[in-house]
Every structure is written in C-alpha cells, then in structure tokens.
Copies of this chain bind each other. A is one copy, B any other.
Amino acid sequence: MRVPAKVDYAMRSLLQLTTDDGKAISTFVKAETISEAEDIPLKFLEGILRQLRLSGMVEAQRGSSGGYRLERDPADISVADVIRAIDGPLAEVRGSKPENLLYEGPSENLGEVWIALRGAMREVLEKTTLKQVRMGKFNAHIRALNTMPDARKRR
C-alpha cells in the first residue's frame, strides 16, 4: 500500500510547471531545472516526464529554449490522473480490479471492502487538482480529513 517515488516525483514535477496562482507556466522549463529544484535524479526524471508527455499531460520542446510545459489546465489535472498515468490503477487487489474478484462462503462480502476502499481513495484523488495542491486550497472533504484528531499521527 505505497505511493511509489515515481508518483511523488511526477506530482512535484508538474507542480514546478505551475504558477503561484495555479496556472500553467507559459514558457518551457528544462528537465535539469526541475531536477535541481526538486532534487530528482535527472535521467530518472526524464523517463517520468516522457510518461507524462505520452499521456498528454505535458508538452515537450527540444533545443536551446526547450523543456517541458503543461498541456492541460492545472485545474483539470487530478492527482488520480497522475497516478494512473505513472503507476496504473488506483487500487488493485492481487493484481485484479476489485470488481472482478469472486468470493464465496465466509469471504463473500470481502469484495465490498475493496470496492469501498477504492471509492474512498477516488474521493480524495479524483477530486483534488494540481491547482488546488499548488494553492493549498483543498475542498471540504480533504480539509475534514486533514483536521481529524490524529490525521498526522501514525498508528
């Protein structure tokens, strides 16, 4: 149950391509610039940016004033979009989509748990946009989750 480095790096890279007020930066930003700003190994980052380009989130330009630029509006890119582009489905169980699992006997209701889990993850990840993250202006559900008593404590 882990968010891999690639996804974290991808989010941070995309955030580097947004302005203070949550828009796309209009000029191209070099991979090297992002690499240094976010402390991400350059060659590793290049692969991530390539995935983001292939999934249509980012646009690339070669040459001396080249680099990367957002292709979609930050208010239109959800965290879930980024995870799906980089890491695949939000939640898989034993390598399958939760709705494809078949349980019988005492386990017959276990599928409901995994469906609910995925639903809860979607509520957070599909409804949080790059713009919201950049500006720190989250929706009520996220704010509620973050102000819960032990939100910042481990269990």
Contacts and interface: CB of A to CB of B under 8 A. Distances in A.
B80 A5 contact: no
A16 B106 contact: yes
Given A1-B1, A93-B8, A106 B15 contact: yes
Interface residues of A, number: 65
Contacts of A148: 119
B133 A99 contact: no
A92 to B, nearest CB: 4
Given A1-B3, A3-B114, A37-B105, 8 more contacts: A1-B92, A2-B94, A11-B113, A18-B106, A90-B155, A112-B136, A112-B146, A113-B124
6 contacts: A3-B94, A4-B94, A11-B113, A99-B153, A120-B124, A120-B145
